[in-house]
Structure 1
Amino acid sequence: MTVTTGLVGAGRRAGVFASALAASPDLEFVGVWTRRTLAAEEFAKRYDVSVFADFVDLLDACEAVCFAVPPAVQGELAGIAARAGKSVLLEVPIAWDLADAERLTETVVAAGVVSQVAFTWRYTAEVQRFLQAHGPDRRPRGGGCRVVKVHRDQPAQADRWRGERGLLFDVGPHVADLLDAAMGPVVDVDAEDDENAWVTLRLEHRLVGPSESTLGSSSTIDYDEAVFEFVGADGKTSVDCSDAERTADYATMFAEFANAARTGEAHALDVNRGLHIQRVIEAADTKLRMGR
């Protein structure tokens, strides 16, 4: 039985989700709502779905909601959807700041609805193989990553929050999530930046040890780079996430969301996971501001 699902948003990210929604055998894509009516109409025509003039009307028409909007908008609307009894698929980060993330998590948990967070790097074949072979039970002694994003002066309207909050909130959640999954729960955080706005993120992992990562942007590269390296009993291992957004297995992500929505079983990457990672990123941001 398919799960009727609505989409909130009509930007670049929403386009990726809409395509996967339309192709999913497990979800029935019923329609889209966004504050930009013209953009919603383009989506509706392309995927032969309805445009909803009001967010509440969208909720009335579906069992689950997929969000592809900036975190400040998601934090508010996802809470409304959860209170209406809808399963929610959330973008990263789950809210604008830690207070909003905590409120959203409390709302979702109190409503007893299914939640899943789109940590899309976790849905690449390479990352899944790596975590199966080299998880924290193999007791890595250290690790980290280097992330370099192509510098873009004028982000799209829907992505302007990324320019405002910086790489720490853009790719930082994906970095922290993968390191936490590979090396064990993060229990302490430190961070610093330099005059070029490059961020060094240091995480302490329970019972395992430290990880150190660098995040920055450059105008001299043609494509994003994100490579993780770990040291342990097996020697050095690595996993490349440079092309993670393009190679992410959205079909699997949506299939798992549909299964969770049907069964009511909690997903490993639920809102609580989203809150944990947001706490890590917010702690790093606090350290950055204290050091300036």
Structure 2
Amino acid sequence: MRIGLLGTGPWAERVHAPVLAKHPGFEFAGVWGRRPEAAAALGAQHGVPGHDDLDRLLGEVDAVSIALPPTVQADLAVRAAEAGCHLLLDKPVALTVPDARRVVEAAEAHRMASVVFFTVRFGGEQLPWIEEQAAVGGWFTGRSDWLGSVFAPGSTSAYASSQWRKDKGALWDVGPHALSVLLPVLGDATAVTAVPGPLDTVHLVLRHAGGASSTLALSLTTPVSGGGTGMELRGEAGTVHLPERGEGPIAAFHRALDALATAARTGEPHPCSAAFGLRTVEILAAAERSLATGTAVEL
């Protein structure tokens, strides 16, 4: 399967491009970016052409890997699906429900496979843990902390210049990660209440379809010495914790590519398809409404 990369930023350079160049099931065919000179430079690092004509690249590949801000991802994903390309998307799929829905509708209309790269869902230890806890069932409550320091004093994050993260905060950046683990274990969310914390920090309470509840603490401005992630479930089986991530995103991205190839070959939607990405956007948008109104929002 020939695949093209859309994007030239740190995430594209550090994760997408190196994996696309090495994955045995794909042929890395080229790079497109909003800055042609950056696309040419990134492509040269991996022996593939940089493109300034997106339509030409889409016509030469079977799939695209998108490493672009959610402010532009939806439009390009729709364009790629209409050109007959399978979609490997980043989270969040979009920043509005209508935009995320357009991606789902385009992929379904043109029968294109889609996978959203929620990094934890493709973790070597995390993926089997999530599946195991979903099978166990009987969970009473869950707690998820995603306390990042991207914008904290002393941060050296490569993503500190990301404008969409500055504008939308932790809710939209790390919120999708937390939801991607909680929803398959506790069930779909039926209501959300959001309360603001310091700076961009937000606290969510979710009610789940199976009767459980969960709490999320999300931040990109946690002091560097106080940041970290963790997840805890409590229920009939006792108390369990999400395994710590012992590997970087490279290995997880290889698995995401495997998932896209399988979905494209079989026609069976992956659990992390664009439709699941849409559901997370619906929940995040409801959380924004809850922050604005100070009330719980039904889903």
TM-score normalised per structure 1: 0.92
Tell me if 1:230 matches 2:229.
no
Look up the match of 2:206: 203
RMSD of aligned Cα (Å): 2.2
Tell me if 1:80 matches 2:79.
yes
Contact 1:227 1:242 in 2 (8 A): no
User: SS in structure 1 opposite 2:272?
Assistant: coil
Look up the match of 1:9: 7
Gaps of 5+ in 1: none
Contact 1:64 1:261 in 2 (8 A): no
TM-score normalised per structure 2: 0.90
Q: CA deviation at 1:117?
A: 0.8
In the alignment, the residues of structure 1 paired with residue 75 and residue 33 of structure 2 have an alpha-carbon distance, to the nearest angstrom, of 14
In the alignment, the residues of structure 2 paired with residue 260 and residue 134 of structure 1 have an alpha-carbon distance, to the nearest angstrom, of 24
Deviations 1:70-96 (A, max 9, x none): 112111111011111111111101112
Q: Which amino acid aligns with 1:280?
A: I
Look up the match of 1:171: 174
In the alignment, the residues of structure 1 paired with residue 198 and residue 127 of structure 2 have an alpha-carbon distance, to the nearest angstrom, of 36
Structure 2 vs 1, CA of residues 101 and 32 (structure 1 numbering), >3 Å: closer, same or farther? same
Contact 2:190 2:207 in 1 (8 A): yes
State percent identity of aligned pairs.
31
Look up the match of 1:193: 196
Structure 2 vs 1, CA of residues 269 and 219 (structure 1 numbering), >3 Å: closer, same or farther? closer
In the alignment, the residues of structure 2 paired with residue 112 and residue 87 of structure 1 have an alpha-carbon distance, to the nearest angstrom, of 9
Deviations 1:18-70 (A, max 9, x none): 11111100111000000112211221111001111211011011000110001
Gaps of 5+ in 2: none
In the alignment, the residues of structure 2 paired with residue 158 and residue 106 of structure 1 have an alpha-carbon distance, to the nearest angstrom, of 32
Deviations 1:94-131 (A, max 9, x none): 11211211222222211221111111111112211312
Contact 1:147 1:215 in 2 (8 A): yes
Tell me if 1:129 matches 2:128.
yes
User: SS in structure 1 opposite 2:94?
Assistant: coil
Q: CA deviation at 1:262?
A: 2.9
Structure 2 vs 1, CA of residues 223 and 194 (structure 1 numbering), >3 Å: closer, same or farther? closer
Deviations 1:141-188 (A, max 9, x none): 111112211142686587221111110000001111211012111111
Contact 2:175 2:284 in 1 (8 A): yes
Structure 2 vs 1, CA of residues 156 and 206 (structure 1 numbering), >3 Å: closer, same or farther? closer
